[in-house]
A and B are shown apart, each in its own frame.
Chain A
Amino acid sequence: MSPEVNEQVRGGRTRQVAAYRDRSFVLENGSDKELLAAHVRGVPHAFAELLRRHKDHLWQTALRTSYSREDAADSLQDALLSAHRTAGSFRAEAEVRSWLHAIVVNACLDRIRRNKTRRAISITPDTMPEAVEPRDEFAEYELSTVVGEALFTLPEDQRLALVMVEMEGRSVAETAAALGVAEGTIKSRCSRARVRLQERLEFFRDPGNRT
């Protein structure tokens, strides 16, 4: 028997409502996929629970892939709208977080393309909050943390190119097309960015520079 029932809603329309909507569904206990399925079936707050779980990761992704904090917030909101509306397109073989991550990245790129003529206030070390990761236990693997911080010391064009190519795994051609610039421009931005990050890493490798 189908688990669906039709519920009369205002205006004489009907919609399908999952039978388990009326059952006890503890959002906190559901897997990401269960939550997304629940959201699709109309369970209230299921999508909000997904956001609660992944908000920091999604924000960090948006921040790294945007020119400004304002753009990051707007892009994240675009992405949430898209995910909320297109949840039914989610393919179960993917991880929900990866799906959301990709939507956020695409929303950021979309906003950059649309805002090409308008540049907001950039994310700079002055406008970025200090990273929460402590530095007192410095180790080689902590260099990733240093890199993560140093990303925001780069000119935003360089940061974005490097994030897309090295962190998001996009090809130079894809990145160039997404940002509407020549491939050589992306290569050049990535090269300059690597030089700057290497200098930063070299600085932190010197024990005399560690605090």
Chain B
Amino acid sequence: MSRSVPQPPFPSELLADLHGDNLAAELREQLLPQVSADPDALHYLSRLDEVNVHLRALATDERVMHPMPDDVADRMFRFVADLDLEADDGPTERLTTMPQAQPDGPTDRLSTMAVPPPPPRPPVDAPVSLAQYRSRRRRGWLAAAAASVAVLAGAGAVVTTLDTTDGTPTAAPFTEPDTPGDELTTAAALSALGKREVNGPLADEAALARCVQANGVDRTVLGASSITFRGTDAVLVLVIGPKPPTITALVVGAGCTTGAPEQLALRDIG
């Protein structure tokens, strides 16, 4: 017997490499007879097998040991809501590639539908990158966001209209004012999209949520930013509009909270 062949007791790492087919063929052939004759080594190998058994059991275990944390869940649901909103903005791949279901038929018809050859699409192995999506989504929002700029630039006029309405309220026309306000530039408004750049109490997500709720627009926040509005500190909040693909632009005072909405401007755009 060559002295180069390990003898019992075998190091656990060596046995693990043998178990995991991670040894050179020559060494494996030399080692196997030694290991087969060593009860302790065989016992250890069976324990390593058990590890695999437990891992496979874990893979099919329905129990959830690590549920999705609230912050992640909030992010994911908001993301999906945005995707739905974006999809509603025009035809999407999902609307053109799914086999035609029979809505009146039983559920199991879905499993027997003929599946047409799929058109070119991103393979599952290559999901659309988040960066690409963000870029596209940002572009997708630009039109609506730009409209919000137009409204907010003339928000002083809008507020005046609302304050002086003494008849049946009517929607103010979304026209550029004769003298656009200089409180909110286009760049500033666009920067609120997808951002959380708020100073003061509304920097807190919960406080922002209370403020949005206080203003009756308790919907997904698309962005928020501190601004100067009509010469005072304010916060611009963009939320999903009441009907896709609109955006609701809300401008509030910095102290906005439950019972004190401090609403300076509120318009649905799009």
Contact = CB atoms under 8 A, between A and B. Distances in A.
Do chains A and B stick together as partners? yes
Interface of A: 2-4, 9-11, 13-16, 18-20, 23, 31, 33-34, 37, 39-42, 44-45, 47-48, 51-52, 55-60, 63, 73-74, 76-82, 84-93, 102-103, 106-107, 110, 128-129, 131-133, 141, 143-149, 162-163, 166-169, 184, 187-188, 190-192, 194-195, 197-198, 201-202
Interface in B88-136: 88-104, 107, 110-113, 115, 118, 121-122, 124-130, 133
Given A41-B101, A89-B118, A84 B94 contact: yes
B110 A102 contact: no
B122 A85 contact: yes
Given A44-B84, A93-B111, A78 B98 contact: no
B206 interface: no
Contacts of B90: 9-11, 13, 15
B81 interface: yes
A195 B13 contact: yes
A48 B80 CA distance: 6
Interface in B70-92: 72-73, 75-77, 79-81, 83-84, 87-92
Interface of B: 12-13, 16-17, 19-22, 44, 47-48, 50-52, 54-59, 61, 63-69, 72-73, 75-77, 79-81, 83-84, 87-104, 107, 110-113, 115, 118, 121-122, 124-130, 133
A39 B68 contact: no
22 contacts: A3-B100, A10-B89, A15-B91, A18-B103, A34-B107, A48-B77, A51-B80, A55-B68, A56-B64, A59-B67, A63-B66, A76-B76, A86-B121, A88-B97, A92-B115, A106-B125, A132-B67, A167-B58, A188-B20, A194-B48, A198-B12, A198-B47
Given A48-B81, A85-B83, 5 more contacts: A88-B93, A110-B127, A187-B22, A190-B22, A198-B51
Contacts of A145: 58, 63, 65
Nearest to B16: A191
B72 A73 contact: yes
Contact of A4 (B91, B100, B121): B100
Closest 4 CB pairs of A and B: A88-B97, A82-B127, A40-B98, A59-B68
A143 B51 CA distance: 9
B10 to A, nearest CB: 12
Contacts of B133: 81
B101 A47 contact: no
B20 A56 contact: no
A147 B124 contact: no
Nearest to B116: A88
Contact of A191 (B17, B99, B122): B17
B128 A81 contact: yes
Given A167-B58, A194-B16, A16 B95 contact: yes
Nearest to B18: A191
B54 A3 contact: no
B94 A39 contact: yes
Contacts of A85: 83, 92-94, 121-122, 128
Nearest to B114: A92
Given A48-B80, A167-B58, A201-B50, A82 B16 contact: no
Nearest to A197: B51
Interface centre among B75, B93, B94, by most chain A C-beta atoms within 10 angstroms, is B94
B19 A191 contact: yes
A73 to B, nearest CB: 5
A131 B66 contact: yes
A42 B22 contact: no
Given A81-B83, A92-B111, A190-B20, A166 B127 contact: no
Nearest to B130: A78
Residue from A39, A88, A131, A188 with most neighbouring chain B CB atoms (10 Å):
A88
A59 B100 contact: no
